[in-house]
Protein backbone atom coordinates (compact mmCIF):
# COMPACT_ATOMS: atom_id res chain seq x y z
CA UNK A 1 0.00 0.00 0.00
CA UNK A 2 2.72 2.49 0.89
CA UNK A 3 4.52 1.89 -2.41
CA UNK A 4 1.49 3.05 -4.36
CA UNK A 5 0.79 5.97 -2.00
CA UNK A 6 4.40 7.17 -2.28
CA UNK A 7 4.36 6.42 -6.03
CA UNK A 8 7.54 4.39 -5.85
CA UNK A 9 6.92 2.47 -9.04
CA UNK A 10 10.36 0.88 -9.23
CA UNK A 11 9.88 -0.83 -5.86
CA UNK A 12 6.38 -1.88 -6.85
CA UNK A 13 7.75 -3.52 -10.00
CA UNK A 14 10.40 -5.39 -7.99
CA UNK A 15 7.80 -6.50 -5.44
CA UNK A 16 5.47 -7.80 -8.14
CA UNK A 17 8.30 -9.62 -9.89
CA UNK A 18 9.39 -11.26 -6.61
CA UNK A 19 5.92 -12.52 -5.69
CA UNK A 20 5.23 -13.63 -9.26
CA UNK A 21 8.46 -15.61 -9.38
CA UNK A 22 7.87 -17.12 -5.93
CA UNK A 23 4.33 -18.25 -6.60
CA UNK A 24 4.99 -19.51 -10.14
CA UNK A 25 7.84 -21.56 -8.69
CA UNK A 26 6.01 -23.09 -5.72
CA UNK A 27 2.37 -23.39 -6.82
CA UNK A 28 3.12 -26.43 -9.05
CA UNK A 29 4.65 -28.22 -6.04
CA UNK A 30 2.39 -27.15 -3.16
CA UNK A 31 -0.75 -25.70 -4.73
CA UNK A 32 -2.05 -22.19 -4.05
CA UNK A 33 -2.83 -22.68 -0.36
CA UNK A 34 0.37 -24.64 0.22
CA UNK A 35 2.49 -21.93 -1.43
CA UNK A 36 0.86 -19.23 0.71
CA UNK A 37 1.39 -21.29 3.88
CA UNK A 38 4.98 -22.03 2.87
CA UNK A 39 5.63 -18.33 2.25
CA UNK A 40 4.22 -17.38 5.66
CA UNK A 41 6.20 -20.16 7.36
CA UNK A 42 9.43 -18.86 5.82
CA UNK A 43 8.61 -15.32 6.98
CA UNK A 44 7.86 -16.67 10.47
CA UNK A 45 11.25 -18.41 10.67
CA UNK A 46 13.13 -15.39 9.29
CA UNK A 47 11.53 -13.01 11.79
CA UNK A 48 12.34 -15.20 14.78
CA UNK A 49 15.89 -15.77 13.54
CA UNK A 50 16.37 -12.01 13.07
CA UNK A 51 15.12 -11.22 16.59
CA UNK A 52 17.33 -13.92 18.11
CA UNK A 53 20.44 -12.68 16.30
CA UNK A 54 19.76 -9.06 17.31
CA UNK A 55 19.31 -10.08 20.94
CA UNK A 56 22.52 -12.09 20.95
CA UNK A 57 24.40 -9.08 19.59
CA UNK A 58 23.02 -6.81 22.30
CA UNK A 59 23.78 -8.91 25.37
CA UNK A 60 25.43 -6.72 27.93
CA UNK A 61 29.14 -7.28 28.07
CA UNK A 62 31.59 -6.60 30.84
CA UNK A 63 32.18 -2.88 31.12
CA UNK A 64 35.60 -2.62 32.65
CA UNK A 65 38.54 -0.46 31.69
CA UNK A 66 40.30 -2.14 28.81
CA UNK A 67 43.39 -1.00 27.00
CA UNK A 68 42.99 0.26 23.45
CA UNK A 69 42.22 -2.42 20.87
CA UNK A 70 42.10 -2.03 17.14
CA UNK A 71 38.76 -1.99 15.33
CA UNK A 72 38.95 -5.59 14.09
CA UNK A 73 39.65 -7.02 17.55
CA UNK A 74 36.77 -5.02 19.00
CA UNK A 75 34.41 -6.38 16.33
CA UNK A 76 35.43 -9.94 17.12
CA UNK A 77 34.91 -9.35 20.84
CA UNK A 78 31.56 -7.64 20.27
CA UNK A 79 29.92 -10.54 18.45
CA UNK A 80 29.79 -12.43 21.76
CA UNK A 81 29.22 -15.80 20.13
CA UNK A 82 27.02 -17.86 22.43
CA UNK A 83 27.40 -21.62 22.14
* pLDDT tens profile 32-76: 999 999 999 999 999 988 888 777 766 666 666 667 777 777 777
The tally of domains found in the chain comes to 1
What Å distances lie between residue 3 and 10, 17, 27, CA to CA? 9, 14, 26
- Amino acid 44: pLDDT: 95
Residue 83 lies inside a defined structural domain of this protein: no
- Amino acid 39: pLDDT: 96
Residue 36 lies inside a defined structural domain of this protein: yes
Residue range(s) defining the domain that contains residue 54: 2-78
pTM over 0.85: no
Geometric angle at alpha carbon 80, from 75 and 82, rounded to 5°: 150
Residue 74 lies inside a defined structural domain of this protein: yes
Q: Which of 10-14, 24-28, 48-52, 73-77 has the lowest mean pLDDT?
A: 73-77
Residue 45 lies inside a defined structural domain of this protein: yes
Residue 64 lies inside a defined structural domain of this protein: yes
- Amino acid 82: pLDDT: 46
For residues 22 and 39, is the Cβ–Cβ distance under 8 A? Answer: yes
Amino acid sequence: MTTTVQKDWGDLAWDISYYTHFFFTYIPFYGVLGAILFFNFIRFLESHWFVWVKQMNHILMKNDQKPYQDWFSNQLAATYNVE
